[in-house]
Amino acid sequence: MSGFDEIFDAPAADPMAVFDSWLSQAAVSEPNDPNAMSLATVDGDGMPNARMVLLKGHDQRGFVFYTNLNSQKGAELNDNARAALCFHWKSLHRQVRVQGPVSAVSEQEADAYFTSRGAESRLGAWASQQSQTLQDRATLDAAYDAALAQYGEENIPRPPHWSGRRITPLKIEFWQDGAHRLHNRLVYHRATPDDVWSTRLLYP
């Protein structure tokens, strides 16, 4: 089990610096996808939905992932632009939870990331009508082949329905496993993105 982190006794002023440190440690200890995170959204009836996505960027502005904007999560974020994230690193006995409003990344950011993907993934973005009913696998394979025939494997443009979303954190909680289930919990909170972070410990 990972040792006790001093942030619980002396919280750093910047939670993103703490996140950077924890993610870097997870990149060494996790067997795969240390950037995997659960993304929770809410539909029009108030029913929550959660799914695993990959963190593709983070800085002081927030946490970025990319998706088909016509997917279920895309539609739900269009209607209710707030979300929660959860990172769980089993190897470190640690968890990070994030809450905040969601906004679109710039067209330039989306283009740059899309271009960095492999050709197969870029073609897949054209082939998949994410979250829609699929008759059979052959239909998806045919759509992929059609995209390949149209665009080839070089200059594949980004679909207009594919882009990134940024969660700007208003609340970040760092959790670390403790003996006898007496876990360590530290919350950073701010009312708006322009405010200074405040911190408090929570009972486990």
Q: What is the 3-state secondary structure (H, E, C) of the chain?
A: CCCCCHHHCCCCCCHHHHHHHHHHHHHHHCCCCCCEEEEEEECCCCCEEEEEEECCEEECCEEEEEEECCCHHHHHHHHCCEEEEEEEEHHHCEEEEEEEEEEECCHHHHHHHHHHCCHHHHHHHHHCCCCCCCCCHHHHHHHHHHHHHHHCCCCCCCCCCEEEEEECCCEEEEEECCHHHCCEEEEEECCCCCCCCEEEECCC
Give CA–CA dist 14/127, Å, rounded.
41
Q: State the catalytic residue, choosing from 61, 117, 181, 190.
A: 181
Q: Are 71 and 131 in contact (CB under 8 A)?
A: yes
Residue 181 falls in the annotated catalytic set: yes
Q: Which residues are catalytic?
A: 181
